[in-house]
Amino acid sequence: MIDAGLLEEILTSLLIVVGASFALVGSWGLVRLPTLMERLHGPTKATTLGLGGILLGSIAYFQLTQDVWSAQELLVSIFLFITAPISANMIAKVHLHGVRLKDAETIASPAGRPPQSPGKGDWATYEAPHRDTPVATSED
């Protein structure tokens, strides 16, 4: 006879351990990958499945063992899903500037220098977005 409380605790701890291991692997990636652009891939993992697992564990804990309706964790993950790509994008933009300026502390990725934009003009990091395009920042 296995009692239900034990099963609930096993499920909760499993979710938390899975989430924590993904966060750990993401952090290990941050340490061992060769340059900044590769290292950027580590944190995107940690915030998605790593945090997702821990938040699911939190929901399961409150729902099953405490009998409290809790879904605030969903909000945490939604906000993270919205903000994580933006911070990654900002770091990538700084890297692009460093590569272009031949900054001594910027080491180019093994992928090489970023290619030129095939279209008219440059990448938006280097040049203001053109008017009347989907990426235009003003409407005058």
Partner 1 sequence: MRRVIPHPGLSVLLALVWLLMANSLSFGALLIGIVIGVLLPLFTAPFWPRRPDVRFRYGIPYVLLVLWDVVVANFEVAAIILFRRSRDLHPRWLVIPLELETPEAITVFAGTISLTPGTVSADVSACGKYLLVHALDAADPDAEIARIKQRYEARLKKVFA
Contact set with partner 1 (CB under 8 A): 22, 25-26, 28-29, 32-34, 37-38, 40-42, 44-45, 48-49, 69-72, 74-75, 81-82, 84-85, 88-89, 92-93, 95-96, 109-112, 114-115, 117-130, 133-136
First CA to last CA distance, the chain:
73
Closest separation in Å from C-beta 97 to partner 1: 11
Closest separation in Å from C-beta 61 to partner 1: 14
Closest separation in Å from C-beta 2 to partner 1: 28
**How many Cα atoms sit within 13 Å of 37 on the Cβ side?**
17
Q: Which is nearer to partner 1, 6 or 31 (CB)?
A: 31
Q: What angle do CA 130, 134, 137 make, to 5 degrees?
A: 55
Compute how many other C-beta atoms are within 10 angstroms of the C-beta atom of residue 47.
Answer: 20
Distance of CA 126 to the CA centre of its chain: 24
Q: Which is nearer to partner 1, 7 or 79 (CB)?
A: 79
Helix (H) or strand (E) holding 75: helix 72-100
Closest separation in Å from C-beta 53 to partner 1: 10
